[in-house]
Structure 1
Amino acid sequence: MRLSSFFMPTLKESPADAQIVSHKLMLRAGMIRQTSAGIYAWLPLGWRVLQKIEQIVREEQDAAGAQEILMPTIQSADLWRESGRYDDYGKEMLRITDRHDRDMLYGPTNEEMVTDIFRGFVRSYRQLPLNLYHIQWKFRDEIRPRFGVMRGREFLMKDAYSFDIDAAGARRSYQTMFLAYLRTFARMGLKAIPMRADTGPIGGDLSHEFIILAETGESGVFCHRDWMNLDVLADAPGYGDDLQAFFDKCTGIYAATDEKHVPGESPVPEDQLVSARGIEVGHIFYFGTKYSKPMNAVVAGPDGNPVLAEMGSYGIGVSRLAGAIIEASHDDHGIIWPDSVAPFNVGLVNLKPGDSQTDTVCQDLYHKLRAAGLDVLYDDRDERPGVKFADMDLIGLPWQLVVGPRGLKNGTVELKRRATGQKEEVSEEFALTRLIGG
């Protein structure tokens, strides 16, 4: 993509109403634009990040055995009355009346709708376990939306729902999602801590929040110091027989307590606790028959008798993650995207557009990098070098490849790693090999 034709309305200064780092940088980098309180339009740069995050979430859900569907944003109030939640949910629910005076709502979550789908088609225990998920926009009418996409009213969420024949199966489904969440966040370059949590309006008796560590995080947490050395992608099991042991390890030895509790109340010795700040990006629940019972979601058991499905639900804030990653990965100059979620892999900077040699080399590099499957943002604008460097640091692409007449006279280009700031003067061939090879 040529930057001269890419819609990326960057700002030099942070808007006065932006209070936290991620909100400031997302606005300055031209990722989002507020359209009303707590509601944002995602511009091309932000949309590319959102798609990268969504794809990682999707791949890990699929790997864990969940199956993707897509449910509507608008739901019937009758389903929520059937479960008993319609009047209890509160003013966060946006209630709507259609032209036929039917009560509808803009879904804040989907337990009722997915239970209705389940009871309409699943008849036997032989069809279980089953986990259905979707990635869909939600709406919760926050009384005070703030902090950009971190606490908006409209947000993109992955929500999954498991159905099992008994409590033992349901807990295994819960543990499977628990591991899938740790893998998901690790692939995004994030250190996630599972913390025992209240079930809130979702209900149930088992719940964990997933907190990613960030110096600018919204809440304080304590965790076992060994947790900081756990490499989930390398050290965690697959979905085999040792899943229970890994779950016990994570929720026992590595238990996290929030700042409302003194460290002495933790099962972890105080001298092994590390204090940090974090941001919630996911929440999982096991709630048994809370929804299947009032909605009569039953299947025939092994003996032929009807059995209520045991259920769990699992949410990840996809749009919130875009802000949370920035909170965890930035510096004074701008965003530092982890490679896996960056909107482009490489920022190619032409220091002197119009110079025949510089243009030729940039064009050659641009085509070769794209042919190798890399996403490249080519800054071909007629702007001062300082403006180009500032914009590249602001938007935080993992690599910057800088081409100018002075370097070309010496047969070199400049390769910069955004995360470390390290710069190298290298040959074109070396740069290509380094970028294409990772």
Structure 2
Amino acid sequence: MHRMRWSDSFIPTLREPPADAEAASHRLLVRAGFVRQLHSGHYSLLPLGLRVHRRVADIVRAEMDAIGAQEFLLPAMHPAALWQRSGRWDVMGAEMFRLRDRNDVDIVLGMTHEEVFALLAAEMSSYRELPQTWYQIQTKFRDEPRPKSGLLRVREFAMKDSYSFDIDEAGLDASFEIHREAYVRIFGRLGLDAMAVEASSGAMGGSASVEFMVASPAGEDDVARCGACGYRANVERARAAVPPIDDPPSGSAPERFPTPGVRTIAQLSDFDGGARAGRQIKTMVMVLDDEVTLVALRGDHQLNLQKLADHTGATDIRPASAAETVAELGANPGSLGAVGVDHLPVYADEALRGRRSMTTGANSDDWHYRGVDVGRDLIDPRWADLRGVSAGEACIECGGTLEIVRCIEAGHIFKLGRRYAEAMGVSVLDADGIARTPIMGSYGIGIGRAMAAVAETHYDDRGLCWPVGVAPFDVVVTVLDPADPAQSSASEVLYSELQRRNIDCLYDDRVLRPGVKLADAELVGIPYRVTVGARSLAQGNLELTERSTGETQMIEVGEAPELVVAVVTAASL
């Protein structure tokens, strides 16, 4: 353990936060001298930042090793052909960094490593080699359109990505559960209150995924959760119960009626002879992978695009242009409907199933239909849960009240299936000598994002408050007057003794005003501070202050090393 004196260290603390910093973690990591931005989405880790980053990585590595995972280190630059084989060359779109080498060969910077690990797995030949769990901590690259919030959303970052290979679904279920439990331990050791929630698999594909979410206003994900039964899901997957509605009879056929100038749900609600939003059918014209498609929802519900992508498998989704809409339906938005449409695919949200006496556009400008019976008047709709849930709706599991919580995604685990193994030609012989394709799981934790999530949830108005497990140092020894021989001697002895006992310790020997040194210690957020000052030392004492609570106790000089070790050890458990 090398010696660390503040006077020799590069810890450029700032009195003011960067002007563009919105998230607390961004403000404080810059102010406290942990990171500096090089350009948008790319950050340099300064010595304090790197120490925290390493400690987070060490915790993740220890828990991966504990479940028998084997560590690799794979290239960050991949041949495009590998991603073309898996089908993700086109799926990933603009977020993938692409370049060409001097031989005019397409190259990508790896966003993740399913393809490369699956390619290595092709060297296995027997079921006896399974299960396998492999992992790495490696730099990833994603061309985020809007990098923000410091380390929370960047374009270059370290990620722990691990992969399981099993012979069958039962094996995958076991590997998935082992990883889930390891993630619970990791986030516990990081001091993060991370909740496991149902999630969309997105471009990763697969049968199921779980995100680990940390509640924070700096997050970019919304989670629906029920306080009554514990149901939790990302809004991209969340469902809510729809109260039963007793619709009146629809009559024998829809009735067409004029609605001059009516173009919105709200206008039709106010129109004499119209219908309130909950009794309207909202019809959206979308283009899914170049195919014009109708999506029907209740008028007061909103389309969740990720649900539509997950259900349809479409990778490119956009609203149809006005020209496309008129060409397909003969009317402009505001007068559109799916009644009688049989030349386009129609996706209908489950909340419309069985509804009668509804009102919708008649595919003629300034005309609508009333008395629509969804089961009768929509031709072979494809049913799916497509709507976004809202706070206050009823839980799908127990009927309790849902709340929507803004969160940071700290980790994500996927049941991938056989997609990547098949693409890379992975095959093993089973006990009967029959060739089988192993089934994969994928499990990720962003190291820098986890570090930022800890900072985002452990701070106060004076600065950061790192938990012992991830702090850059466990203790800072602050000598108020280094020119005083008694203070300097006592500080040097304590610092050496703590070093000898394997306590990560920073010695603040700078010749500065005491107030500046104490403020810096609080800003940096080291969990414990031992202050050596003339007044307490004259009484044979030192001051031990806990950063998170601000509580200070006097400890005798001779007993200080043992007491500090005991306090740090107890906090580490």
Per-residue deviation at 1:215? 5.6
Q: 2:120 aligns with which of 109, 117, 122?
A: 117
For residues 177-188 of structure 1, what are the structure 2 equivalents within 5 Å? Answer: 177-188=179-190
Instruction: Flag the 1:215–1:77 CA change in 2: closer, same or farther, 3 A.
Output: closer
Per-residue deviation at 1:270? 2.0
Q: Secondary structure at the match of 1:437?
A: helix
Give, in whole Å, the separation in 2 of the partners of 1:313 and 1:255: 24
Per-residue deviation at 1:221? 3.4
Contact kept, 8 Å, 2:231 with 2:395, in 1: the verdict is no
Q: 2:527 aligns with which of 378, 398, 413?
A: 398
Per-residue CA deviations over 1:285-308 (Å, capped at 9, x if unaligned) read 002111112222111111111101
The TM-score, its normalising length taken from structure 2, stands at 0.70
Residue number in structure 2 paired with 1:297: 426
Per-residue CA deviations over 1:32-89 (Å, capped at 9, x if unaligned) read 1111110011000000000000000001011112111100110111111111111221
Give, in whole Å, the separation in 2 of the partners of 1:286 and 1:324: 25
Contact kept, 8 Å, 1:204 with 1:288, in 2: the verdict is yes
Contact kept, 8 Å, 1:217 with 1:327, in 2: the verdict is no
Give, in whole Å, the separation in 2 of the partners of 1:294 and 1:219: 31
For residues 322-401 of structure 1, what are the structure 2 equivalents within 5 Å? Answer: 322-401=451-530
- 5+ residue gaps, structure 2, are 236-387, 568-573
Residue number in structure 2 paired with 1:284: 413
Residue number in structure 2 paired with 1:40: 43
Residue number in structure 2 paired with 1:232: none
Contact kept, 8 Å, 1:208 with 1:285, in 2: the verdict is yes
- 1:256 lines up with 2:232 in the alignment: yes
Per-residue deviation at 1:254? 3.5
Contact kept, 8 Å, 1:413 with 1:428, in 2: the verdict is yes
Per-residue deviation at 1:19? 1.2
Q: 1:204 aligns with which of 195, 206, 218?
A: 206
Per-residue deviation at 1:257? 3.0
Q: Secondary structure at the match of 1:367?
A: helix
Contact kept, 8 Å, 1:92 with 1:140, in 2: the verdict is yes
Q: Secondary structure at the match of 1:9?
A: coil
Q: Secondary structure at the match of 2:507?
A: strand
Per-residue CA deviations over 1:217-248 (Å, capped at 9, x if unaligned) read 4444354659xxxxxxxxxxxxxxxxxxxxxx
Give, in whole Å, the separation in 1 of the partners of 2:172 and 2:408: 27
Instruction: Flag the 1:338–1:268 CA change in 2: closer, same or farther, 3 A.
Output: farther
Contact kept, 8 Å, 2:42 with 2:156, in 1: the verdict is yes
Opposite residue 105 of structure 1, the aligned amino acid is V
Residue number in structure 2 paired with 1:60: 63
Between the aligned residues of both structures, percent identity stands at 43
Opposite residue 363 of structure 1, the aligned amino acid is E
Residue number in structure 2 paired with 1:415: 544
Opposite residue 305 of structure 1, the aligned amino acid is I
Contact kept, 8 Å, 1:68 with 1:133, in 2: the verdict is yes
Give, in whole Å, the separation in 1 of the partners of 2:443 and 2:489: 51
Q: Secondary structure at the match of 2:92?
A: coil
Per-residue CA deviations over 1:178-216 (Å, capped at 9, x if unaligned) read 111111000111111011000011111100110123465
Residue number in structure 2 paired with 1:149: 151
Opposite residue 264 of structure 1, the aligned amino acid is A
Opposite residue 520 of structure 2, the aligned amino acid is D
Give, in whole Å, the separation in 1 of the partners of 2:234 and 2:428: 39
Residue number in structure 2 paired with 1:250: none
Residue number in structure 2 paired with 1:13: 16
Give, in whole Å, the separation in 1 of the partners of 2:221 and 2:142: 21
Aligned-CA RMSD value: 1.6
Per-residue deviation at 1:269? 5.0
Opposite residue 265 of structure 1, the aligned amino acid is C
Provide the aligned length of Structure 1 versus Structure 2.
Answer: 410
Per-residue deviation at 1:266? 3.9
Per-residue deviation at 1:268? 4.6
Q: Secondary structure at the match of 2:449?
A: helix
The TM-score, its normalising length taken from structure 1, stands at 0.90
Instruction: Flag the 1:395–1:105 CA change in 2: closer, same or farther, 3 A.
Output: same
- 1:435 lines up with 2:438 in the alignment: no
Q: Secondary structure at the match of 1:293?
A: helix
- 1:90 lines up with 2:218 in the alignment: no
- 5+ residue gaps, structure 1, are 227-252
Comparing 79-88 and 24-33, the one that deviates more? 79-88
Per-residue CA deviations over 1:354-401 (Å, capped at 9, x if unaligned) read 111000000000000000000111100000011001100001001000
Instruction: Flag the 1:18–1:285 CA change in 2: closer, same or farther, 3 A.
Output: same
Contact kept, 8 Å, 1:414 with 1:424, in 2: the verdict is yes
Per-residue deviation at 1:434? 2.2
Contact kept, 8 Å, 2:130 with 2:165, in 1: the verdict is yes
